[in-house]
Amino acid sequence: MDRNIRLIGFASGIRASGASMLSPFITIYLFKVLGIPYAEIGFLFLLVGVPPLLISPVAGLITDRVGRRRVILLALATESASVVMIGYSMYVSLLPGVMIFAASSGIAGSIAGPAVSAYVADMAEGADRSLGYTWLRIGFNAGFTVGVGAGGFLIDYIGFPQVGFLSGGILAVGVMVLLALLAPSAYDIRLQAGQSRAEHQGGMEGPGSVRDSLGILAKDRRFLVFCLASMVSALVYGQWSTTFPLFIKTIEGVPTWLVGVALATNGAIVIFGQTTTTRAMIGKRHTTAAALGLVLFGLAFIALGTFSLLGFGVLLAAFSFVILLTIGENLGAIPMMTLPSNLAPSTERGSYNGAFNTLSGIGGIFAPLAGGLALSASGNPLLVWGVLALPTIPAVGIFLWLGRRIPAAANTV
């Protein structure tokens, strides 16, 4: 594997360790410190999620024209500053500041996302590309495991604002590592050399006009249907980082440090299981992996609701949920990371990944609102999590339908 893919995976781990020290616990801060009800928390996260969605397709177009490395560095530097300001806003108990800088952090992440995906796609082909994205995901989750574990512990002892300041500092370290060590991709080098579409007919040339890129996207029906299935899936995936910590902290009464341990378990399973999962799926369809992953998510939701309702113990309920969900996440991550680049022309990888992040992310921004409304509407855990699992049914159907229509060369892990 190219050393730069390993490097960006390592830097992703540093970044994730910083961001995850604070971001999964923001819903708890809003409820426990500021006293905001569940439904209103969901609505606030809906508002915070809109700006990154609007920016992501533009970010994809920019990374195809400016270059991957430059966009990655600028975006992650902005994210670092935004997280520091979240910490400051928590320090002065300023709700608008917390939400504005959470949105700013999300915007920075949505700008970096298409650039990182395109960078890895530039560096690897075929099964190596799937393994490259796997390495990136392992790096992220190694950092996530450390971050949420440390964040859950430190919040109880030094407080939310101080963890915010520490989180932003760790993010800044990740930016400096990339600035010092990350090389431009081959695509970046071609752009820097001034090569254009006209100079490279039939080769890996630069992109055409923005109108050309939008036209290519609009005509790619298989890609758009994949985005639709991913949008519905995101209504399920999005419950993990918002509704779940809120549920086990405020309803089940779990201490914050134990919430961090539960979240860290997710990261640990990814670290030790993602490569095995990816290798096991090589030669099989991406769309099959997506469908299987969603089935396990649905089972995780039902298990959490059932165990909580029957009083089997909060730890059994929480960790059964985490284990089932993470195995499903490992399966679902493979197509989500790889298929947009596989379906894209080589000159449009940034625009495809940006469009995918926006279209699939629509479901993600509504997920916290759905979770907040479900928690507000019913005290029955099985009913709450059963309702939240319902989108898995149409999403699985769409993925299985789509699997017969995407060419094997693009749809094979």
Per-residue pLDDT tens, the chain, 413 aa: give them.
678 888 888 888 888 888 889 988 999 999 999 999 999 998 998 898 888 888 888 888 888 888 899 999 999 999 999 999 999 999 999 999 999 999 999 899 888 888 888 888 888 877 778 778 888 888 888 888 899 889 988 998 899 999 999 999 999 988 898 888 888 888 888 887 775 443 444 444 556 788 888 899 999 999 999 999 999 999 999 998 889 999 998 888 888 888 888 888 888 888 888 888 988 998 999 999 999 999 999 999 999 999 999 888 888 888 889 999 999 999 998 899 889 989 998 788 888 988 898 888 899 889 999 999 999 998 899 999 999 999 999 999 999 999 999 999 899 88
Domain assignment present for residue 302? The answer is yes
Residue 294 CA to residue 307 CA, distance in Å, equals 20
- Non-local (6+) Cβ contacts of 72 within 8 A are 8, 112, 115, 116, 119, 178, 182
| pLDDT score, position 200 | 41
Residue 242 CA to residue 373 CA, distance in Å, equals 12
Contact status, residue 113 vs residue 364, Cβ threshold 8 Å: no
Domain assignment present for residue 199? The answer is no
CA 40 to chain centre: 23
Strands (E) across 249-310 are located at: none
| pLDDT score, position 380 | 93
Residue 23 CA to residue 260 CA, distance in Å, equals 11
Contact status, residue 296 vs residue 328, Cβ threshold 8 Å: yes
Q: Interhelix angle for 126-158 vs 160-181, to 10°?
A: 150
For residue 317, give Cα distances in angstroms to 210, 322, 382.
Answer: 49, 9, 11
The number of folded domains in the chain is: 1
For residue 204, give Cα distances in angstroms to 11, 64, 264.
Answer: 27, 12, 41
Would you list the DSSP string of 35-63? ---HHHHHHHHHHHHHHHHHHHHHHHHHH
Domain assignment present for residue 169? The answer is yes
- Non-local (6+) Cβ contacts of 364 within 8 A are 49, 234, 235, 237, 238
- Non-local (6+) Cβ contacts of 233 within 8 A are 290, 294, 332, 360, 363, 391, 392, 395
Element (H, E) at 343: helix 314-343
| pLDDT score, position 1 | 64
Domain assignment present for residue 191? The answer is no
CATH number for the domain harbouring residue 239: 1.20.1250.20
Domain assignment present for residue 193? The answer is no
Contact status, residue 370 vs residue 242, Cβ threshold 8 Å: no
Contact status, residue 109 vs residue 79, Cβ threshold 8 Å: yes
- Non-local (6+) Cβ contacts of 81 within 8 A are 168
Residue 236 CA to residue 224 CA, distance in Å, equals 19
Residue 91 CA to residue 295 CA, distance in Å, equals 41
Domain assignment present for residue 201? The answer is no
Domain assignment present for residue 244? The answer is yes
Domain assignment present for residue 198? The answer is no
- Among residues 384, 366, 367, 383, the alpha carbon closest in space to that of 375 is found at 384
The label of the residue with tokens 């609102």 reads: 369
Domain that holds residue 10: 3-185+208-411
| pLDDT score, position 231 | 95
